[in-house]
Amino acid sequence: MISFENVGLRYGIGREVLSDLSFQVAPNSFQFLTGPSGAGKTSLLRLMLLSLSPTRGLVKVFGKEAASIKPEQMPIIRRKIGVVFQDFRLLDHLTTYENVALPLQVRGKMEQDYRQDVRDLLDWVGLGDRMHVHPPVLSGGEKQRAAIARALIDQPDVLLADEPTGNVDPPLARRILRLFIELHRSGTSVVIATHDLSLMDQYDARRLVLNSGRLQIYD
Amino acid sequence: MTDKDKPPLKKKHTKEQTERVIPKRQPKPLRSGQSIVPRETVAGTALVFVIAIMTFLACLTLGAVSMVKDSAAKWQNDISREVTIQIRPFDDLEMEQAIRDASQIALAFDGVSKVTALNDKETARLLEPWLGAGLQLDELPVPRLLTVTLNDGKRPDFEEMRKQLEEKVPGSTLDDHRTWVDRLTTMALTMVAIGTSVFLLMMAATITTVIFATRGAMAGNKDVVDVLHFVGADSRFISREFQNHFLIMGLKGATCGAVGAIILFIVLGLWSSSSLATPEGDQISALFGTFALSWSGYFWMIVVLIVVAFLTALTSSFTVRRQVNNLQNYRKN
């Protein structure tokens, strides 16, 4: 689904922040991406999301070499990848409901076709009574859950989550993890970037450990 | 995992179920009524304001140029529709006969509609500023003037008319005002050229200001474009959203500016026509005619309004397309 071969990344003329990365995210797989702060987790996620191109090496997404993907094909690839940003990236002028429904709206779906799905998902992530409010009045944890709901709403083939439990309490973190596990069971490949060891201990999954720009894989 | 913990994925509802459930569970509106592009932003309000001011100034310039052009054309037309025959008196010249002869010669030419001879009273009034009141023309060798009115669009053969007058009416001369017409034409063309240049400069300033103001307002929407891109919106969808939004803003601003200018011209026109008999009104009407803007002037103001609004929409569309293309182009990332 996503494969890296000898991928290296440097910003400008600095040293390589990621070196010789070779791994695959297989279909219907579940993995944690971990490592200390500044190890390059977010950069690696951005490489997987195709919002960064590597300095060297080969990146393939859904069987296509990333460098050969034409700009007009990019939205189709993006629709297969759900992403939870560390800074949430919710649109402040839209309600929580509208933010979560956004991926469906940009695909041209009619509101009456997805309204109940969005409400159910927001109920499940605990935002059932907050769906009419705007993000500026949500707490950090609520924003996190809204961002997760937005990434999941169209059931992507791959879900990339950057510190998805960073702003929530342990019970909700467990619940969000169970959501990701259930999503994985329904056929989605999941990559969760986290440095929360307790979260990783709750589910036996493959671990991609980044340290000083190099990757170690524990299957 | 209990049923409660299971996420509601792959759960589909029929339309009937959705409609049945919503009234009970929707105490507040889910939708804010906002478009995907935020409406009420400081940059957006400032953009509308800038567009309104620039459109107002552009329309004022356009109106002024249009009035100068119309007035110049009117002066030129008025003076070129008349020529003058002057008959100088001689000792043995029968003036009344000479006037009749000259009139007949002039009327024989194609393009002449009428010939009017200034009578003694009119001639005396014409000379009053120089020679004083109570002038007796019989006592002075004052030349007599005949005004020859021409048909619109037709010019008689002045050379032939001049030749016949010199032969048949001694002491007569024909003044076709060519020198004045040429001077006025040059002056009118110069004024129109200057006015058009000023208008073009104003439009260039308006276009540049609108482009930069739009791009400034767009900069505040970069995050919106990023999010739309990452949730899978294609460039056409994103640019359409922004284009529609900025078209409305452009129309708002440009309409305010253009309507403001139109109202100003109407008010000035009404004021000018109501003060025709006053010294100020006479001064203005001497320069601008009746200070009334022609329909074509108002038409071109509406054109300016539309151009500014579409320019705003196109600029936003172009800017957002470039931003989305950068996001979509993997090699540029």
User: Using only C-alpha atoms, what is the Rg of chain A?
Assistant: 17
Q: What is the DSSP letter of B7?
A: -
Q: Which of A27, A174, A155 is nearest to A164 (CA)?
A: A174
Q: Judge whether A74 is closer than 8 Å to chain B, CB to CB.
A: yes
Q: Residues of A numbered 45-64 whose beta carbons fall under 8 angstroms of chain B's beta carbons: which are they?
A: 49-53
Of B1, B28, B230, Cβ closest to residue A132? B28
Chain A positions in Cβ-Cβ contact with residue B34 (cut-off 8 Å): 93-94, 98
**Prediction ipTM score:** 0.88
CB contact under 8 A, A134 and B227: no
Q: Judge whether B230 is closer than 8 Å to chain A, CB to CB.
A: yes
Q: Residues of A numbered 161-180 whose beta carbons fall under 8 angstroms of chain B's beta carbons: which are they?
A: 175, 178-179
Whether B26 contacts A199, CB under 8 Å: no
| Per-residue pLDDT tens over the stretch B234-292 | 888 888 888 888 889 899 999 999 999 999 988 888 887 776 666 666 666 666 566 67
3-state secondary structure chain A: CEEEEEEEEECCCCCEEEEEEEEEECCCCEEEEECCCCCCHHHHHHHHCCCCCCCEEEEEECCEEHHHCCHHHHHHHHHHEEEECCCCCCCCCCCHHHHHHHHHHHCCCCHHHHHHHHHHHHHHCCCCCCCCCCHHHCCHHHHHHHHHHHHHCCCCCEEEEECCCCCCCHHHHHHHHHHHHHHHHCCCEEEEECCCHHHHHCCCCEEEEEECCEEEEEC
Chain B positions in Cβ-Cβ contact with residue A129 (cut-off 8 Å): none
Highest CATH level, class, for A2-218: alpha beta
Render each residue's pLDDT in chain B as its tens digit; 333 residues: 455 556 666 544 444 444 444 444 445 555 666 678 887 777 778 888 988 998 999 899 888 888 878 877 777 777 677 888 988 887 777 888 888 888 889 888 888 888 888 877 787 777 777 777 777 767 777 788 888 888 876 778 888 888 888 888 888 888 877 777 778 778 878 888 888 898 888 888 888 887 777 777 777 788 888 899 888 888 888 888 888 888 898 999 999 999 999 999 888 888 877 766 666 666 666 665 666 778 888 899 999 999 988 888 888 888 888 888 877 777 665
Round to whole Å and give the CA distance between B289 and B270.
Answer: 13
Average confidence score pLDDT of chain A: 89
Q: What is the pLDDT of residue B28?
A: 59
Name the closest residue on chain B to residue A76, using Cα atoms.
B232
Round to whole Å and give the CA distance between A131 and B94.
Answer: 106
**B16 CA: distance to closest CA in chain A (Å):** 10
Q: Judge whether A187 is closer than 8 Å to chain B, CB to CB.
A: no
Whether B287 contacts B233, CB under 8 Å: no
Which segments of B46-143 are extended strands (E)? 82-87, 112-117
| Per-residue pLDDT tens over the stretch B218-242 | 777 888 888 998 888 888 888 888 8
Q: Where are the domains of chain A?
A: 2-218
| Per-residue pLDDT tens over the stretch A118-174 | 999 899 888 889 989 999 999 888 898 899 899 989 889 999 999 888 777 888 888
Q: Which residues pair with B123 in a beta bridge?
A: none
- Dihedrals phi, psi of A213, to nearest 5 degrees: 85, 0
**B45 CA: distance to closest CA in chain A (Å):** 16
Q: Judge whether B330 is closer than 8 Å to chain A, CB to CB.
A: yes
Encoding tokens for residue A169?
């309490």
Encoding tokens for residue A55?
């300095």
Round to whole Å and give the CA distance between B325 and B327.
Answer: 5
CB contact under 8 A, A120 and B8: yes
Whether B175 contacts B82, CB under 8 Å: no
